[in-house]
């Protein structure tokens, strides 16, 4: 059987695409480069929207990127079940594209934050989290200025009651996100967005705070192989 193919999207300003591609390869999958201006998903089995500072962020993070030609292909594919992971700016784009509810706003303290962060896993039923255990605490890097997750009371209540909060900040909330939310999923569980960066925590060689990020990539690989 050929290796699972995971697309890694690059926008102007994306800076974590090579880290994302390496994480995909370390898990045993093929990383397929996807350029934002193309109308072609290249037949990939899953898609990773990595972090960075996509063009148009000066308006609102992800607000312009969500209209890129590639997104016109990705949105219906994701709605039809294609597994999609968005980290940091990728999470912001998923929210702007209405693939996930809510929005990411300026950090509560109005300062850019770059540090290792303790995260608690709340949901292991998604395409990207099956290799974790519910309640497991992991350490992932965060680096963002607009990572405060907000949503109206009705949306928050739905996320909580439906078990769609996938990750929460533990050991202190770094940005003021409501309900300590660090990541969420859609109803089907194929789309996950989070502010922390699992692609920066996959190998000890780079001085990562942990290798806890590997679980995202082994989870999706097992899902695709067993599909």
Q: Is 88 a catalytic residue?
A: yes
Q: DSSP labels for 52-118?
A: B--TTTTTSTTTTGGGSHHHHHHHHHHHTT--EEEETHHHHHHHHTTSSSSEEE--TTSS-EEEEEE
Report which of 141, 150, 144, 182 is spatially closest to residue 57, judged by C-alpha positions: 144
Q: Is 39 a catalytic residue?
A: no
Report which of 62, 70, 82, 31 is spatially closest to residue 188, judged by C-alpha positions: 82
Taking CA atoms, 206 is separated from 22, 197, 199, in Å, by 12, 14, 11
Catalytic-labelled residue, pool 36, 144, 197, 200: 197
Main-chain phi, psi angles of 31, to 5 degrees: -90, 125
Catalytic-labelled residue, pool 96, 122, 146, 199: 199
Q: Is 199 a catalytic residue?
A: yes
Rg from Cα positions in the chain: 16
Catalytic-labelled residue, pool 36, 73, 88, 96: 88
Report which of 112, 37, 23 is spatially closest to residue 74, judged by C-alpha positions: 37
> Hey, which residues are catalytic here?
88, 197, 199
């Amino acid at each position: 059987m050929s290796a699972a193919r995971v697309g890694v999207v690059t926008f102007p300003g994306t800076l974590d695409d090579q880290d994302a591609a390496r994480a995909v390869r370390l898990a045993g999958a093929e990383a397929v480069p996807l350029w934002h201006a193309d109308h072609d998903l290249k037949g990939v089995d899953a898609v990773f929207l990595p972090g960075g500072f996509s063009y148009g962020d000066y308006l609102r993070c992800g607000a312009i990127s969500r209209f890129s030609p590639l997104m016109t292909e990705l949105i219906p594919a994701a709605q039809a079940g294609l597994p999609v992971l968005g980290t940091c700016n990728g999470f912001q784009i998923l929210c702007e594209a209405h693939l996930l509810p809510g929005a990411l706003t300026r950090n509560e303290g109005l300062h850019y934050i770059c540090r290792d962060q303790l995260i608690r896993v709340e949901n292991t039923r998604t395409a990207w989290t099956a290799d974790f255990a519910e309640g497991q605490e992991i350490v992932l890097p965060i680096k963002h200025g607009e990572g405060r997750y907000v949503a109206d009371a009705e949306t928050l209540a739905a996320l909580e009651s439906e078990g769609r909060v996938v990750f929460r900040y533990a050991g202190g909330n770094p940005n003021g996100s409501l309900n300590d939310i660090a990541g969420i999923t859609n109803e089907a569980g194929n789309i996950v967005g989070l502010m922390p960066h699992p692609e920066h925590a996959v190998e000890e060689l780079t001085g990562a705070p942990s290798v806890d990020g590997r679980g995202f990539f082994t989870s999706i690989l097992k899902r695709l192989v067993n599909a």
